[in-house]
A and B are shown apart, each in its own frame.
Chain A
Amino acid sequence: MTADRNPRRLADALQAIPGVSTVVERNGALWVDAPLLEVEAMAAAMAELGIRLGTVTAIPHAEDAESTVIYHYIDEHRVINVKTCTRNGALASLAPTVRAASWAEREIRDLFAVEFPGHPNPVPLIRPEGIDTATLRAAMCRPAEVARKPASPLASPLAAKPARS
């Protein structure tokens, strides 16, 4: 809550995080590309800057491919999106030091089977006990397209009328 408001200094601090390749401003937010991001180093740097973690987004690509993971940080005046990808389907957990990461990581594990080794309480958040992880992974990996709507015989005047008995 004491974030540095100087955009130049902030960009320099982000660029210094191990694994960060580029920092650009786009659509009113900062986008940090870091395929080989050291997530614990990022968490330490953000804590030092006084910037809170808003949430984490996972984007699965194919059932057995790596997933994109975006850490959304908020300094109250702008959003800082740090984009990385999983390694062997996993990323180190931030939850031991960042409370706000705990539920976000548990949800991502439930829905997309991304593992967060080191999570202090890796129990299901969204899925019921006994259901496997990756609840949405296969469905979300399919190309985005408009789903066919269920057809109702009442929806069209041309639909065949049921035979009278």
Chain B
Amino acid sequence: MPYSFPLGPYHPALEEPFKVKVQCRGEVIDSATVEVGFSFRGIELLAQKRNWVEVITLIERVCGICSNTHAMTFCMAAETIAGIEVPKRAAHIRTIIAELERLHSHLLWAGVGAEDIGFHSLFMEVFTLRELVMDTLEAISGNRVNYGMNCIGGVLRDIPDPKRYLPALDTLSKGLAEIVIPTFTENPTALARTRGVGRLTREQAVEWAVVGPVARASGLDIDVRKDQPYLSYADLGFESVVRPEGDVLARVVVRALEMVESIRLIREALQSLPAGPLRATQGLPEIPAGEATIRTEAPRGEAFYYVASEGGATPARVKIRTPSFVNIPAIEAMVVGQPLADLSIIQASVDPCISCTDR
């Protein structure tokens, strides 16, 4: 007899509130409905009540994981309206922070994913590696969550001794190559819970318009860093990671190999950090009337900002579309025909960020 099962909003798998209501027949899921909106904060409205500098601090709090992405994307939109070109050194530093953020986000996901499949020892290994990234971010910015690195026109802090961080990257590379990647891709326990589970075909990925690692794990070769390069990605070169399978394992592999690419990007950016100023402007920025749309590749996929200015002290409109806003609905397609016991890892495989989604 069919029955309904609510997972959330207080979640056994994630520490953020969202709800997946599934209709089951026996142990198999027939259909699912995702509900969000439990942590709505009205950030887009608040952004119209702050000046251009205060908004950066506000926007950085859209997400507790990809905080830098949001502040950086907002600054890029304001810079585009004002015609400000960011100095090369600042672009390199932004790239380094963005890729460190991707590393810590993907490692966070890997740890949560390991926990979701009951693999606690793998969780501990992953989080030990993640601490290296957090320590590096803290050493550069002074913070572990909201780094406060971005300002309109450049960055607020320098990286005076870039070679100091190279040994941590070596340790990370070794840990990924010897522990994390082999465990997720070869261990029978991990494979049994991920291979062939929660499949999203390429056609479904197009239909649901998913982005980021979810799209690339379904065979869509889209990545803003490659398709519309920004910051220093064109200088550093970039190769996207794509898998055709569309299952949870493919999403794991895409994120794992992206971490390897992130480490390469950070290493090259640190080694080739150009000399020069950190900011193109000084003092309070004046943003003329205008509007701009900016895309960046956040850890979860494409972050999209529309920013409008009327030439005043505050933005006239800030629209934020986070990657999770388009990826989360696709859970409804992934879970159909899957065992109820796999619901947790399937929805976690999207790496949903709920405070991003609700804003």
Residues of A that sit less than 8 Å from B by CB: 1, 27-29, 52-55, 57, 59, 70, 72, 74, 76-79, 81, 99-100, 102-104, 110, 124-128, 135-136, 139-140, 144-147
Give the complex CA separation of A53 and B209 in angstroms.
7
Give the complex CA separation of A74 and B220 in angstroms.
14
Contact assessment for A78 and B315 in the assembled complex, using a CB-CB cutoff below 8 Å: no
Give the complex CA separation of A29 and B141 in angstroms.
33
Contact assessment for A76 and B316 in the assembled complex, using a CB-CB cutoff below 8 Å: no
Q: Mark B26-59, 1 if CB is under 8 A from A, else 0.
A: 0000000000110010101100111100100000
Contact (A70, B314) CB under 8 Å given A126-B40, A146-B50, A146-B51: no
**B16 CB to closest chain A CB, in angstroms?**
15
Give the chain B neighbours of A79 by CB distance below 8 A: 293, 295, 304
By beta carbon, the residue of chain A nearest B205 is A1
Give the chain B neighbours of A29 by CB distance below 8 A: 292-293
Contact assessment for B208 and A99 in the assembled complex, using a CB-CB cutoff below 8 Å: yes
Is B329 in the interface zone, CB < 8 Å from A? Answer: yes
Give the chain A neighbours of B80 by CB distance below 8 A: 27-28
Give the complex CA separation of A147 and B46 in angstroms.
9
Contact (A55, B317) CB under 8 Å given A126-B36, A126-B37, A128-B37: no
**B276 CB to closest chain A CB, in angstroms?**
23
Give the complex CA separation of A30 and B116 in angstroms.
43
Is B15 in the interface zone, CB < 8 Å from A? Answer: no
**B157 CB to closest chain A CB, in angstroms?**
26
Give the chain B neighbours of A100 by CB distance below 8 A: 208-209, 326
Give the complex CA separation of A110 and B49 in angstroms.
21
A-B contact pairs, 14 of them (CB 8 A): A27-B80, A27-B81, A53-B209, A54-B321, A55-B319, A77-B227, A77-B228, A125-B36, A128-B37, A136-B45, A139-B45, A140-B48, A144-B316, A145-B49
By beta carbon, the residue of chain A nearest B292 is A27
Give the complex CA separation of A28 and B302 in angstroms.
17
- In the complex, identify which listed stretch (B98-106, B166-174, B305-313) lies at the interface while the others stay far away: B305-313
Is B291 in the interface zone, CB < 8 Å from A? Answer: yes
**A80 CB to closest chain B CB, in angstroms?**
9
**B180 CB to closest chain A CB, in angstroms?**
30
Give the chain B neighbours of A53 by CB distance below 8 A: 209
Give the complex CA separation of A81 and B305 in angstroms.
12
**A43 CB to closest chain B CB, in angstroms?**
12
Is B206 in the interface zone, CB < 8 Å from A? Answer: yes
Is B239 in the interface zone, CB < 8 Å from A? Answer: no
**B293 CB to closest chain A CB, in angstroms?**
5
Give the complex CA separation of A64 and B319 in angstroms.
21
Is B207 in the interface zone, CB < 8 Å from A? Answer: yes
**B320 CB to closest chain A CB, in angstroms?**
9
**A155 CB to closest chain B CB, in angstroms?**
16
Give the chain B neighbours of A76 by CB distance below 8 A: 222, 227-228
Give the chain A neighbours of B209 by CB distance below 8 A: 52-54, 99-100
Contact assessment for B293 and A72 in the assembled complex, using a CB-CB cutoff below 8 Å: yes
Contact assessment for A52 and B206 in the assembled complex, using a CB-CB cutoff below 8 Å: yes
Is B237 in the interface zone, CB < 8 Å from A? Answer: no
- Extra inter-chain contacts (17) besides given A74-B295, A125-B37, CB under 8 Å: A27-B81, A28-B80, A52-B209, A53-B209, A54-B321, A55-B321, A57-B317, A81-B306, A99-B207, A99-B208, A126-B40, A126-B358, A136-B45, A144-B312, A145-B312, A145-B314, A147-B49
Is B147 in the interface zone, CB < 8 Å from A? Answer: no
Contact assessment for A55 and B227 in the assembled complex, using a CB-CB cutoff below 8 Å: no
Contact assessment for A144 and B310 in the assembled complex, using a CB-CB cutoff below 8 Å: yes
Rank and list the top 5 A-B pairs by shortest CB-CB distance, nearest first: A100-B209, A147-B49, A55-B321, A57-B319, A126-B37
Give the chain A neighbours of B329 by CB distance below 8 A: 99, 102-103
Contact among B36, B206, B302, B308 with A59 in the assembled complex (CB-CB below 8 Å):
B308
Most chain-B CB neighbours within 10 Å: which of A59, A70, A128, A144?
A144
Contact among A59, A78, A135, A139 with B317 in the assembled complex (CB-CB below 8 Å):
A59
